[in-house]
Structure 1
Amino acid sequence: MIDKNIFRKTEAILYDYNNLALRIDLLKAEIKDIEETYQGCGAMSYEERTQATNKFNSSVEDEIIQREKELRALKLDLNNKMKLKRRIDAAIQGLKKDEERKLVELRYINKRPLSWNQIAYVLKYSQEYCRKDLRKSAIKGIADTVFYNPYRQERFGFL
């Protein structure tokens, strides 16, 4: 039996699958924009001097450091999202039954998810069997792959 919390999180991840692919593309574009954009030098600012300091970095250095921090955070986020998408894809392909794969595709992956009646009609099973038994076994199979790594327990940042 699967924990209710993990069941819900797995369903939420599957419902959000199409948005995940879109977010990956947007992150790639944002990283490319940041890498191509460079402000450079600006006007020198004359501020009131308060105390002598040993700080010897310029506005250009500050900008580069800030940009590198932002790029590192975006690349980490992109990496996590790509890893999650690969795990979801592998989990769906690794489902034991073709009916489970088809159910996941029809209910969660399609841009317009089908109702349980429509899914039952396509799979040629009863609505109750699709909604209760087939769905639970498919979600359990996906959750086992997405949330578990035999070498280390790894949770994704958004969970």
Structure 2
Amino acid sequence: MINKDLLKKTEGVLLNYKTIKAEINNLLLEIEEVEAEYKGVSDITYGEKTGATNKFNSSVENEVLNKIKVVEKLSREMESKKRLISKIDNAMGTLEETEKRIIELRCFEGYNWNKVGMILNMDGDYCCRIKRAAINKIIPLVWVFNKYAN
């Protein structure tokens, strides 16, 4: 039996598939922007030296280190989203063409059941049942960890 939380989670991912792909691209752009900012950071020198200090790092070093941490965090998030999209793509590859097309039309394109049924020349309610069965097929493929964690 399929866990209802995993069913909702999977439906949510499918409904947000395009958004997740856009987030991956935006994360990549953000990483490039942050990297460009810290690669252009340089130390500012003043004409007069004030005195010896016991400070081990400068504000420039701190800024660069903080930006490196931001890039690492953004990279981890982007890689996580990429893996999720790859899992969805792999799972979708196991479905029959009708199942795949129904998920694409309903979840990725956002069509209502009447429109999905009209496009596929099927009853909308029947398409809904096929979608539910297809999601039940892909849940164990997408959420592999949950399968072995219990």
TM-score (norm 1): 0.79
SS at match of 1:37: helix
CA-CA distance at 1:140 after TM superposition = 1.2
Runs of 4+ with deviation above 3 angstroms: 149-153
SS of the aligned residue for 1:122 comes to helix
Tell me the distance in 2 between the aligned counterparts of 1:62 and 1:35: 15
Deviation of residue 6 (structure 1)?
Answer: 1.0
Write the letter of the residue equivalent to 2:102. L
Letter in 2 for 1:61: E
**What letter matches 2:122 in structure 1?**
Y
Could you tell me which of 108, 121, 124 is aligned with 1:124? Answer: 121
- Residue equivalent to 1:40: 42
> For residue 83 of structure 2, what is the aligned residue in structure 1?
83
Aligned to 1:12: 12
State the alpha-carbon separation in 2 of the partners of residues 15 and 21 from structure 1: 12
Q: How many percent identity over aligned positions?
A: 32
- Residues 63 and 152 (structure 1), Cα distance of their counterparts in 2 relative to 1, 3 Å cut: farther
Question: What is the one-letter code of the residue matched to 2:117?
Answer: A
Bigger helix share:
2
1:1-159 matches, cutoff 5 A: 1-38=1-38, 39-42=41-44, 55-95=55-95, 97-110=96-109, 113-131=110-128, 133-149=129-145
* Cα distance in 2, alignment partners of residues 65 and 83 from structure 1: 27
Question: C-alpha offsets along residues 117-141 of structure 1, whole Å, 9 cap, x if unaligned?
Answer: 121222233222211x201111112
Q: State the alpha-carbon separation in 2 of the partners of residues 151 and 92 from structure 1.
A: 18
- How far residue 31 of structure 1 moved from its aligned partner, in angstroms, is 0.4
The TM-score with structure 2 as length reference comes to 0.83
Gap regions ≥5 residues in structure 1:
45-52, 154-159
Size of the aligned set, in residue pairs, is: 141
Deviations 1:107-126 (A, max 9, x none): 0112xx21111212222332
Gaps of 5+ in 2: 47-52
